[in-house]
């Protein structure tokens, strides 16, 4: 009897062990969270083909991924749609140098993670990766009207139309216009006024009487020199005086 009880106990333990092993084997392991990839996020969202292409050409996408995966600072990206790029004047992007294209994209990246509520209370102007926030450089101002978030650059006025992605480190917001910075697209500074033309000096004084003119002129010593036309008059006067005494 004792032997039968022991056998039943062993059988029960073996059954429980096999059931537990089978259950654990069937449970999927949690997928490891891979490194953040901003271009893949945009590809998944759709309608950002032009932005993705520019990020790859300028290598800014790789730089953003490196920064996100190697720091805890966070980042906010304002992502223009393909329609936003299509609405630009023809040739706008082609007219930019490689460095200007980098600056244009950097102007859409804020090196701080900002939630939607933080966008409503942020201090202006926002500093982007493009740098200088002076009024004629790269100022970016974010304001709110009710639940609407407005973005202004001094050249472009648009709104945040959608939140594409947020994970506590990266926030990507859709905008329906390309954010054009003052530094690249603002009114040109007025050209400096031309300097007044200086009067050229010549060998002849314009105000000096021409040779052969009547009248007197001053010699170098300050005395008066009569011109040749007065010589005859002087001779006549002398002759009249001589006749008077004769």
The 10s digit of each residue's pLDDT in 130-181 is: 988 787 889 999 999 888 999 999 999 999 999 999 999 999 999 999 999 9
pTM value is 0.64
pLDDT of residue 9: 57
Query: What's the CA gap between 125 and 144, in Å, rounded?
Result: 14
Strand ranges, E, within the chain: 75-80, 109-110, 141-145, 148-152, 157-166, 170-175, 216-218, 224-226
Please tell me the least confidently modeled range out of 15-24, 55-64, 107-116, 138-147.
15-24
CATH-assigned architecture of domain 38-185? Roll (2.30)
From residue 63, alpha-carbon distances to 66, 165, 220 in Å are: 5, 18, 80
Residue with the bigger pLDDT between 37 and 22: it is 37
Query: What's the CA gap between 236 and 44, in Å, rounded?
Result: 115
Residue 217 pLDDT greater than 80, yes or no:
no
Residue bearing tokens 């990839």: 37
pLDDT bucket at 81, cuts 50 / 70 / 90: very high
Query: What's the CA gap between 176 and 83, in Å, rounded?
Result: 7
Residue bearing tokens 């648009």: 158
pLDDT of residue 63: 95
Share of the chain above pLDDT 90, in %: 53
pLDDT bucket at 71, cuts 50 / 70 / 90: confident
> Residue 61, Cα to own-chain centre: how many angstroms?
18
Write 83-86 long-range contacts (CB < 8 A, 24+): 83/47, 83/176, 84/175, 84/176, 84/177, 84/178, 85/50, 85/51, 85/178
Domain parsing of the chain, residue ranges: 38-185
């Amino acid at each position: 009897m004792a032997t039968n009880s022991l056998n039943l106990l062993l059988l029960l333990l073996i059954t429980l062990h096999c059931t537990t092993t089978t259950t654990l084997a069937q449970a999927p392991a949690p997928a490891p969270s891979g490194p953040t990839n901003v271009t893949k996020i945009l590809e998944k969202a759709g309608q950002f083909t032009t932005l993705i292409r520019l990020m790859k050409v300028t290598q800014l996408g790789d730089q953003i991924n490196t920064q996100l995966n190697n720091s805890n600072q966070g980042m906010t990206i304002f992502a223009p749609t393909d329609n936003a790029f299509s609405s630009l004047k023809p040739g706008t992007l082609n007219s930019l140098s490689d460095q200007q294209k980098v600056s244009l994209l950097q102007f859409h990246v804020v090196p701080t993670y900002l939630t939607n509520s933080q966008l409503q209370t942020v201090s202006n102007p926002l500093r982007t990766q493009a740098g200088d926030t002076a009024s004629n450089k790269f100022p970016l101002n974010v304001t709110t009207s009710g639940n609407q978030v407005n973005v202004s650059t001094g050249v472009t006025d648009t709104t945040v139309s959608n939140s594409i992605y947020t994970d506590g480190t990266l926030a990507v917001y859709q905008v329906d216009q390309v954010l054009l910075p003052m530094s690249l697209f603002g009114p040109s500074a007025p050209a400096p006024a031309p300097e007044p033309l200086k009067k050229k000096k010549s060998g002849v004084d314009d105000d000096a009487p021409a040779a052969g003119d009547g009248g007197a002129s001053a010699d170098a010593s300050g005395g008066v020199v009569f011109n040749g036309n007065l010589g005859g008059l002087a001779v006549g006067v002398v002759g009249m005086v001589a006749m008077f005494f004769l």
